[in-house]
Amino acid sequence: MLTKEQAIALLSLEVVPALGCTEPVCVALCAADAAHAAKGAPKRVEIDVCPSIYKNAKAVAIPNFSRPGLEYAAALGAMIARPELGLELFSKIVPEISEAAIHLVEAGSITIHINEQESGVYVAAKVFGDGIGESIIRNGHANIVLTRCNGEVLYQNPAQGNGHESLIDALCDMRLSQIRELVEALSYADIRFMLDGRDMNEGLADVGLSDPGSTGLARGFQDMPDISGDGLLKRVVLRTTACAESRMSGVPRSVMSSAGSGNHGITAIIPLCELARHLNKSDEELARALAFSHLLNIYIKHYSGRLSPLCGCGSSAATAASAAMVWLLGGNDTRIAAAINNMAGSITGMICDGAKVGCAIKLGVAAGTALICAYLALNGIALPSGNGIVAAEPEETIRNIGRISQEGMRLTDNTILDIMANSNNSFARMPGAIG
């Protein structure tokens, strides 16, 4: 069971800024670490990735850069060669770096290999410069576990973990009611930093609403007739979509991530901000709701996996947000459990077919569903135990979601990956709105 101090520590580790989609920047970070070890100008880069990293980095835009794709992410990382920047590595892309990275790719100096024996988060990079640098990232997008130069170990994490698995294990030993009690007991001063995520992600949503983006998804939602009496549902969908579309289109602004994903952070934060504004809640109340949302997201991801065949925004972050919405609305533990079960019985089956601008639609749908399920729960409406994967206790329902993701959808994930790997689609440029 987490102590207050451990809860703050876990939130500090799992709720962090990220510039660009976390999978391309993970590849870039690994290449940067290897290039830093190799020293000198990179001549060749070899990348080994698990299927999930490949899937989520294939088509998504890169901030401050005109072309998407793993090859370019790897080349950019190798040219920047500053692993200390972590998940904000792309902030250092300048024209000279861009030109050098494009040259590396066009010269055929970047090799990408999909390692089907690896799962979760896994990237290995080998960079040939003055020496041969090697780096491995595992179990977390910024978690470097090995760095070598010419075969000599420069850094190694023997545990191969991200250093806070014990905190996550302690969290998952708790009942959801205990997590709620813990959040309520935290000092506002200790969780005030949750509002940094509000400011960061809401700011990007504002950008998305002022700029139609690569496909105009947010603009399309904005032009729809109001679908709720007070406009709350539309605002939740609209602002979540706008934030995600901007991020997936490569807008060079960081978002606050949650459990290793920027899109999870958007989904766990934006709907609660809109509801808090609608209810005229204080900053302290919002900060607690956000802390609850992030901790529940970490909890669910422990079972479903950091990267999974299921859309994590729908099955995890939106479920966490829905439960936190119920808390913000004054609902008790029974109502919170109902929201989780309602979410499990609705959009759990949403697949993950990689990170790309189309994720914005999924996030908008997930956020809207989270609000609907929260209000249903608040009004005493809950899917009963035995209704599909819905169990008597929310903790068991969450474990069922994890089983579907980890066991039941392996073939589905392989099929998705095969479709993507053999697609004839070109991602040389991001698509524009239909004229």
> Which of the 8 DSSP states describes residue 62?
-
With H, G, I as helix, E, B as strand and everything else as coil, classify residue 215.
Answer: coil
Q: Is residue 378 part of a domain?
A: yes
Q: What is the pLDDT of residues 363-415, one digit of tens each?
A: 999 999 999 999 999 999 999 999 999 999 999 999 999 999 988 888 888 88
Q: How far apart, in whole angstroms, are the C-alpha atoms of residue 68 and residue 60?
A: 6
> Which of the 8 DSSP states describes residue 384?
P
Confidence category of residue 61, pLDDT binned at 50, 70, 90: confident
Beta-bridge partners for 351? 310
Domain co-membership, 151 together with 291:
no
Domain co-membership, 183 together with 150:
no
Task: Count CB-CB contacts under 10 A for residue 71.
Answer: 23
Backbone angles phi and psi of 114, in degrees to 5: -90, 120
Q: How far apart, in whole angstroms, are the C-alpha atoms of residue 311 and residue 309?
A: 7
Q: Is residue 428 part of a domain?
A: no
Mean pLDDT, residues 202-221: 77
Q: Which of 14-23, 197-206, 235-244, 262-271 has the lowest mean pLDDT?
A: 14-23
Sign of CA pseudo-dihedral 391, 341, 329, 351? positive
Domain co-membership, 71 together with 203:
no
Domain co-membership, 151 together with 107:
yes
**Residue 225, burial from CB neighbour count under 10 angstroms (0-12, 13-18, 19+):** exposed
Backbone angles phi and psi of 382, in degrees to 5: -145, 140
Sign of CA pseudo-dihedral 257, 259, 260, 264? negative
Domain co-membership, 305 together with 392:
yes
Sign of CA pseudo-dihedral 22, 418, 135, 118? positive
Q: Is residue 434 part of a domain?
A: no
Backbone angles phi and psi of 125, in degrees to 5: -130, 140
Q: How far apart, in whole angstroms, are the C-alpha atoms of residue 431 and residue 271?
A: 27
Q: Is residue 8 part of a domain?
A: no
For the packed helices 318-328 and 262-279, what is the interaxial angle rounded to 10 degrees? 20
Q: How far apart, in whole angstroms, are the C-alpha atoms of residue 238 and residue 240?
A: 6
Q: How far apart, in whole angstroms, are the C-alpha atoms of residue 267 and residue 316?
A: 9
Q: Is residue 165 part of a domain?
A: no
Domain co-membership, 152 together with 225:
no
Q: Which of 65-79, 226-240, 261-275 has the lowest mean pLDDT?
A: 226-240
In this predicted structure, the answer to whether residue 218 has a pLDDT above a threshold of 60 is: yes
Q: How far apart, in whole angstroms, are the C-alpha atoms of residue 361 and residue 245?
A: 8
In this predicted structure, the answer to whether residue 352 has a pLDDT above a threshold of 50 is: yes
Mean pLDDT of the chain: 90
In this predicted structure, the answer to whether residue 223 has a pLDDT above a threshold of 80 is: no
Beta-bridge partners for 127? 45, 133
Residue 32, domain extent: 21-156
Domain co-membership, 121 together with 203:
no
Domain co-membership, 222 together with 114:
no
- Among candidate residues 156, 188, 204, the one where a domain is terminated: 156
Domain co-membership, 140 together with 286:
no
- Among candidate residues 156, 186, 216, the one where a domain is terminated: 156
Domain co-membership, 306 together with 389:
yes
Q: Is residue 116 part of a domain?
A: yes
Instruction: Assess contact for 218 and 209: CB atoms under 8 A.
Output: yes
Instruction: Assess contact for 195 and 250: CB atoms under 8 A.
Output: no
Token pair for 87: 């998940």
Backbone angles phi and psi of 226, in degrees to 5: -60, 130
The candidate with the shortest Cα–Cα distance to 201, out of 290, 282, 138, 130, is 290
Q: Is residue 9 part of a domain?
A: no
- Among candidate residues 129, 156, 183, the one where a domain is terminated: 156
The candidate with the shortest Cα–Cα distance to 429, out of 262, 249, 253, is 249
Q: Rounded to 5 degrees, what angle do the CA atoms 392, 397, 401 make?
A: 160
Domain co-membership, 210 together with 314:
yes
| DSSP characters over 137-176 | EESSTT-EEEEEETTEEEEE-TT-S-S-HHHHHHHHTS-H
What pLDDT score was predicted for residue 435? 29
Q: How far apart, in whole angstroms, are the C-alpha atoms of residue 43 and residue 100?
A: 11
Cβ partners under 8 Å of residue 404, min gap 6: 310, 348, 389
Q: How far apart, in whole angstroms, are the C-alpha atoms of residue 311 and residue 362?
A: 8
Domain co-membership, 197 together with 289:
yes
Q: What is the pLDDT of residues 81-127, one digit of tens each?
A: 999 999 889 999 999 999 999 999 999 999 999 998 887 889 999 99
Beta-bridge partners for 185? none
> Which amino acid would we find at residue 20?
G
**Cα 354 from chain centroid?**
11
Q: Rounded to 5 degrees, what angle do the CA atoms 411, 412, 414 make?
A: 65
In this predicted structure, the answer to whether residue 338 has a pLDDT above a threshold of 80 is: yes
Q: What is the pLDDT of residues 16-33, one digit of tens each?
A: 998 888 899 999 999 999
Instruction: Assess contact for 36 and 81: CB atoms under 8 A.
Output: yes
Q: What is the tally of structural domains in the chain?
A: 2
> Which of the 8 DSSP states describes residue 308?
-
What CATH number did the domain enclosing 208 receive? Answer: 1.10.4100.10
What CATH number did the domain enclosing 142 receive? Answer: 3.30.1330
Q: Is residue 97 part of a domain?
A: yes
What pTM did the predictor assign?
A: 0.88
